[in-house]
Amino acid sequence: MKKHISFLFSLLVFSSSLLTAQTWQRAGKGVNGTPLCFAVYNNELYVGGRFEGNFAKWDGMRWNNAISNIDGSICTMVEYKGELYAGGYFTAVNGKSFKYIARWDGKQWQEVGKGTDSPVLSLLVYNNELYVAGKFDNAGGAPANHIAKWDGSKWTAVGKGSDVTIEKIGLSNNVIYASPFFQNDGADFHNIGMWNGTDWSPVGKWSDGIIFSFASFNNKLFAAGHFTEASSGVAAGNIAVWDGTKWSSPSKGMSLHGNTYDANVKTLAVINGTLFAGGQFDTADGHAANGLAYWGNVWMAGNGNIRGTVNAIIEFNGELFIGGDIANNENDRPLTIVHMPMKK
């Protein structure tokens, strides 16, 4: 009974402060697989991931994946110079050879120079350049250790880069952050590095935990992933904050089945001045929160009638969309993508 009351209370707190309803609505029939990322381009909502075609557009009633046939999963998307860029594990689009990255103009796909020699996992736009990170050690036919940048016509390496695969890059206060990060002949990066435009350097004494997402919020860097410490002796429930000098934990964070280690946070998104977190957890700072929460000095629940793992969060036309391996909390019906109106 207490658990039911707690769940209902957290649902009401979330919906009354940010959303206009208490029940998530399925977005059409969803997709027949796992959504990994969203993007808004030309006032249209797109989803990428691991499903038939791996790329689809929302028309207000259903997802249209007939616009493209991509042979591998899409991990990341971002708009750059009037086109939608997508990176992932694909090597062909509509039968044409592509090397792990492509750009979409709303009608057709184009190459991004010579592409990369291995999958692209994260994209970021900064200073009118597209930063690209992933498993590769070659971009545009030239050496680039797991991170490179594209200016619309040519590829350039970003310093010495990292000697291990970079899974995520983020931006805060004009500094680019990358994780995991390691250099065989460099400083001890503790699994995360920052680029100031000239050199890579460590970010404090990070705990070596896995980071899945970055977000800049209140002039600080939020890092989310799978870890129980932000730095030595600083407990953190899968979310930590870097203020430019030191790491700290904003709260108790997220847990699953009462255990912080069993949980993870897959994605962070700042929408209308609010920081959202999605992932695999059932509790956020003591509130029942099946995969979705938002920050308001403590983490507040944002799940409503769903459960599962949230991989992506975005706002589109006044509604909050979330995607992942999610299902209806009452009947276990697979949903994959749901939406709910946000308050203006």
Has residue 295 been placed in a domain?
yes
Closest CA to 141 of 126, 121, 157: 157
Has residue 77 been placed in a domain?
no
Average pLDDT of the chain, as a whole number: 91
**Sign of the Cα pseudo-torsion (209, 212, 217, 220, in order):** positive
Tell me: the pLDDT tens digits for 303-318?
577 889 999 999 999 9
Average pLDDT of the segment spanning 187-207: 92
pLDDT score of 21? 60
Q: Residue 309 sits in which domain range?
A: 1-30+227-344
Is a pLDDT exceeding 70 seen at residue 22? no
pLDDT score of 306? 85
205 vs 179 pLDDT, higher one: 179
Has residue 40 been placed in a domain?
no
Strands 34-41 and 299-301: unpaired
Has residue 240 been placed in a domain?
yes
pLDDT score of 67? 84
Average pLDDT of the segment spanning 176-195: 91
Give Cα separations from 169 to 66, 153, 289, 306 (angstroms). 30, 22, 26, 29
Average pLDDT of the segment spanning 189-209: 91
Is a pLDDT exceeding 50 seen at residue 247? yes
3-class DSSP assignment, residue 11 = helix
Where are the strands (E) in 127-182, listed by range? 129-134, 138-139, 142-143, 147-150, 155-157, 168-172, 175-179
321 vs 232 pLDDT, higher one: 321
Please give the Cα distance from 236 to 8 (Å, whole number): 26
Is a pLDDT exceeding 50 seen at residue 3? no
Is a pLDDT exceeding 60 seen at residue 166? yes
DSSP alpha helices (H): ranges in the chain?
A: 2-17
pLDDT score of 277? 96
pLDDT tier at 342, thresholds 50, 70, 90? confident
Q: Is 337 exposed, middle or buried (0-12, 13-18, 19+ CB in 10 A)?
A: buried
232 vs 124 pLDDT, higher one: 124
pLDDT score of 41? 97
pLDDT score of 290? 87
pTM above 0.85, yes or no: yes
Strands 175-179 and 337-341: unpaired
Is a pLDDT exceeding 80 seen at residue 50? yes
Is a pLDDT exceeding 80 seen at residue 16? no
Is a pLDDT exceeding 50 seen at residue 211? yes
Number of domains in the chain: 1
Has residue 146 been placed in a domain?
no
Please give the Cα distance from 65 to 236 (Å, whole number): 39
**Sign of the Cα pseudo-torsion (134, 135, 138, 143, in order):** positive
Has residue 163 been placed in a domain?
no
pLDDT score of 19? 62
pLDDT score of 17? 57
Has residue 125 been placed in a domain?
no
Has residue 275 been placed in a domain?
yes
Rounded percentage of the chain residues whose pLDDT exceeds 90: 78
Average pLDDT of the segment spanning 184-190: 83
Is a pLDDT exceeding 50 seen at residue 10? no
Average pLDDT of the segment spanning 323-335: 88
pLDDT score of 186? 72
